[in-house]
Amino acid sequence: MLRLTKSCACALLALAALLGTPARATNNDPVVLVHGVLGFGPESHPLGSFLYWGGYGNIAAHLTVYHGPHTVFTAQVGAIASNWDRAAELYAQIKGGCVDYGAHHVARYGYPGQAQKPAGKCWAADPANNPENYPLAFYPQWDAAHPVHMIGHSQGGTTIRALVQLLEHGSPDGDEGGGELYKGGKVGWIRSVVTISAPHDGTTLRDAVVDVLPNLRSPLRDILDNELAHWELAPDGAREFNRWALTSPSVYYFSVGTLATEAGAWCCNGTDRVLAPVQNVQFQYPRADMIPYFKLFAGEWIVGSLAQPGMGSYTQNAPGRVRIDSAWFPNDGVVNTVSMRAPSGHPVRDYDGKAVKGTWNFLGNYRGYDHFDILNWPNNGPSADPIYERISDIIFGL
């Protein structure tokens, strides 16, 4: 039944893509893919042939030829860096030049020993003038007349939002030491933003797992909690981030949700019965086809802990913090599905075939896809290619 459900979903996706395909593309702007936390670039995985975007397949290559040719770039940014730092790295990779994290920003928020301009983190805008033999920038002509589409998975989505904010409004502290990114005024440089399984309102994975050993402290944990990505990826940190990273009226926004848990039942709901033989109808449990490691955290309890609630049952209502209730229980093993739709307080609508600028056009939740199924990582179930084909049809039709 589970495989049938997912197969039907793919068939419906393919039909929707066919019916929604424009007669011809109205733009052919380049696409930039941005990975999530702990992600890696196309040449940096130790297995060599394994890609973040596609596993042993290649989503970038598929997007290049689907109703193409199109130009698709795959970025590599900090694996556990903040959204701001990752945005600075994205800017240099696309436009060219050396990474500049900003003088005021590093002084106020940087981790111990962080350099404002790290040595060697540069991309050449002009291949004929590249004495240091830096890698070439993706798209040096990038500006309002030559915009790009950006697709981000997981934290890649929030990183792109930080980049839009910096491009258009610059640093809230004003001059950051002369860096072009922080001057603002770059409206229209990004035509569209697509976020896939993004923690717009954070994820309770961080809170639930950290709470397993609440009294264990270390300098590294302090950095991760307060300075780097793990803070912004928690609901409380995401709330602060959402107050700064605005939804631009000049950009088309789209979001995709994933869901790989089911409500508890006495039998036959497609969940992993070995991990959860007895289930409560109030809570969520990992589907049998979820990537095994994330099943440990996705359900009612964190497997192996002493009665610690997992993402499928974790709640909290402490004063001053983001309230976590049952709406947060459904998840894809890493991010709560409710968080993927749009940032709280920002405009959002269900996509109806017509894209609207300055609001989040929600493309729906894809049931049965966990956080990495959506990247075509090896696992049971169908390909995610029809989802990317649908995205391609939409963004190139803008």
pLDDT class for 42, splitting at 50, 70, 90? confident
**Tell me: the pLDDT tens digits for 65-123?**
999 899 999 999 998 889 999 999 999 999 999 999 999 999 988 888 889 999 989 99
The Cβ of residue 374 has, within 10 Å, a number of other Cβ atoms equal to 22
Residue 39 has pLDDT above 90, yes or no: no
**Tell me: the pLDDT tens digits for 110-124?**
888 889 999 989 999
Mean pLDDT computed over 192-216: 79
Instruction: Compute the CA torsion angle 210, 211, 213, 215 (nearest 10 deg).
Output: 100
Q: How far apart are CA 228 and CA 81, in angstroms?
A: 5
Residue 13 has pLDDT above 50, yes or no: no
Mean pLDDT computed over 241-266: 97
Per-residue confidence (pLDDT) for residue 44, from 0 to 100: 63
| The two three-digit tokens of residue 189, written as one number | 């440089």
Q: How far apart are CA 241 and CA 184, in angstroms?
A: 18
Q: How far apart are CA 380 and CA 398, in angstroms?
A: 34
Instruction: Compute the CA torsion angle 205, 210, 212, 214 (nearest 10 deg).
Output: -150
CA-to-CA dists, residue 204 to 158, 195, 201, 292, angstroms: 16, 19, 10, 19
Per-residue confidence (pLDDT) for residue 219, from 0 to 100: 46
